[in-house]
Structure 1
């Protein structure tokens, strides 16, 4: 099998720096991930593995140095040489690396011992999926390594794998200096960061007003100890939404997500979102609503009944006491707003804006009556 050109596989120049190599792998790995290419899975798996291998070598300065001089065959300890230089390691490296590469996964000695000619320990590619997970800090950009949401009991359900990478790259990039933690020459004894999965939790404004219990059915993947494969399992998570919680509130379930290679489980973090309401709009701890009245009502007075978020009716009065309701004026009902979660028993205000609807036509007699009534 001819020696492969890792630079061409990633689509970078031979003098590409570390950042360029990272970006190239990120772009190509996302493009060719088998889960995103179900119609050409065999080709995608092949390219995905090649990309991982190329990245593992070129992102490690020690492996890259060997590859640049001796090619893929030399890197893997076989005879024949490659794009970087002459073949094999008969008797060790020309010019020598007498002490080996500090911090790397290669060892050189002056005698021919186990592990290859000249004491060289051949490179063996790591699992492509492990490389991918390590790169993204243990969490897949595909919505958290296979977790998706449907609705169950008006709450989310996880399972599946949507595409896309909302929110950009997750945190948790590894240190490139000594290879990837836990993968062929990385930091000894280290484990990959399990990361976390973040999901929206849409909640109706009525439920944020009264409080509600949400039961969420989660499908997560655990690793079978005998086969090493991910096995889907289901679990019910319960969230007690407190009255007055605001959009952006985060509810974290530690270790309830997918199990990652090398140990550990992802965290699941739900981020509360407020569903739109047809009548009320939240404004901090206050609620806002609008009532529309006629010109006559604005001048002579009006009464409106609003059905509140808890189902009770609230009476709105305006234009009384010979004080006409001005267009855009506000009627404030103290203590009728949202509960204040940090101050039990306290609520914000309900602020009602008055909108005056003018008639579309006016007769001459009506005009005259208005002039007489208001002295103009």
Structure 2
């Protein structure tokens, strides 16, 4: 039976929780209480981190289970086996246990800096939790809440007894089950690319001039040629790595997003196009013979001998937009008739209608 359950309660786990359950509990509660979250609470965030720091260390967890939080912190009361009564900081039974004592007599005093440092070893907000959109602490990829510098304890290790090591040039941790930090992905910057329907119909190269920051913060310009594929739709994304601002030791990824400019003659619906053909009231009754120019520049004949109802349309297969995923295939062109229907009739016009209809 454990002496107290406060630390387990902070992580939302039971005293019998496994190492993986303790990690999951820390992730969940650290996200909930992170100061950049709407539910943030810095004091709770610090308490959760300290709970994880103790419970993820088998030796400290054993001390906590038997003697409570102060003992696990190294602040053992008189008469406790860790006050020296069991022999020079010895564990009952002759074993030894060493607390981190870089905070002075009584052990290390856990701080908010320690809490954020542990959090960043999990990858921070961006890598561990998918980012929060512009938070002040650790919001840039790869950055720590203290300007990007890794916070280390005075003993040369991480706060709370973590010590760094290298293995093949990669950083890691000893004395704990903390995962190695994965390489950070560069930030992604979205830029719109306005295109006309003709450009998206024909395809081709569209050059985009962008301004970006160099390694020294200097402003520079570059031109990125975008190869448009015939038939691309609004929302299509094209990614160019290492083309954006220089930030956190690497260049950002630029992601271009296709947008469609309004067209005076056509509206797009997927792969189909619609155009409006205006008719006079007389043409709608007696028939008409007109031409419509397609988006490719082809002229087609549109005629009717019979009356045309307002709002009706006719469809011409294969005269719409190219289908990018099926080269050589096209959508349809719909010609919708817009009749200039009269809103006023003179007496003579009314008489003519009565006499003839």
TM-score relative to the length of structure 1: 0.55
The alignment partner of 1:245 has SS state of coil
CA contact (8 A) 1:286 1:349 kept: yes
Match of 2:192 among 197, 201, 208: 201
For residues 245 and 30 of structure 2, the distance between their equivalents in structure 1, rounded to whole angstroms, comes to 25
Alignment CA distance shift 1:128-1:251 (3 Å):
farther
* 1:210 and 2:197 aligned: no
CA deviation map 1:262-308 (0-9, x unaligned): x9876544443334445422122211122332321212234666676
User: How far apart are residue 244 of structure 1 and its match?
Assistant: 0.9
Alignment CA distance shift 1:54-1:15 (3 Å):
closer
User: How far apart are residue 245 of structure 1 and its match?
Assistant: 0.7
Kindly report which structure 2 residues correspond to 1:38-49, keeping only aligned pairs within 5 A, or say none.
Answer: none
Could you say what the CA RMSD is over the residues aligned between the two structures, in angstroms? Answer: 5.2
User: How far apart are residue 338 of structure 1 and its match?
Assistant: 1.3
Alignment CA distance shift 1:266-1:340 (3 Å):
same
CA contact (8 A) 1:70 1:87 kept: no
* 1:370 and 2:356 aligned: no
Instruction: Report which of the two structures shows the higher radius of gyration computed on alpha carbons.
Output: 2
The alignment partner of 2:127 has SS state of coil
Q: Which runs of no fewer than 5 residues in structure 1 stay unpaired?
A: 1-5, 8-12, 34-46, 99-108, 148-180, 225-230
Q: 2:32 aligns to what? A: 24
* 1:70 and 2:69 aligned: yes
* 1:332 and 2:331 aligned: no
CA contact (8 A) 1:52 1:131 kept: no
Q: 2:124 aligns to what? A: 134
The alignment partner of 1:136 has SS state of helix
For residues 265 and 122 of structure 2, the distance between their equivalents in structure 1, rounded to whole angstroms, comes to 47
Report how many residues are paired: 287
The alignment partner of 2:231 has SS state of coil
User: How far apart are residue 341 of structure 1 and its match?
Assistant: 2.3
For residues 109 and 181 of structure 2, the distance between their equivalents in structure 1, rounded to whole angstroms, comes to 22
Q: 2:282 aligns to what? A: 296
* 1:281 and 2:267 aligned: yes
* 1:246 and 2:238 aligned: no
CA contact (8 A) 2:278 2:340 kept: yes
For residues 265 and 188 of structure 1, the distance between their equivalents in structure 2, rounded to whole angstroms, comes to 26
Kindly report which structure 2 residues correspond to 1:74-223, keeping only aligned pairs within 5 A, or say none.
Answer: 75=73, 79=75, 92=89, 110=96, 125=114, 127=117, 130=120, 134-137=124-127, 140-142=131-133, 185=176, 187=178, 189-194=180-185, 197=188, 199=190, 201-206=192-197, 207-211=199-203, 212-215=205-208, 217=210, 219=212
TM-score relative to the length of structure 2: 0.57
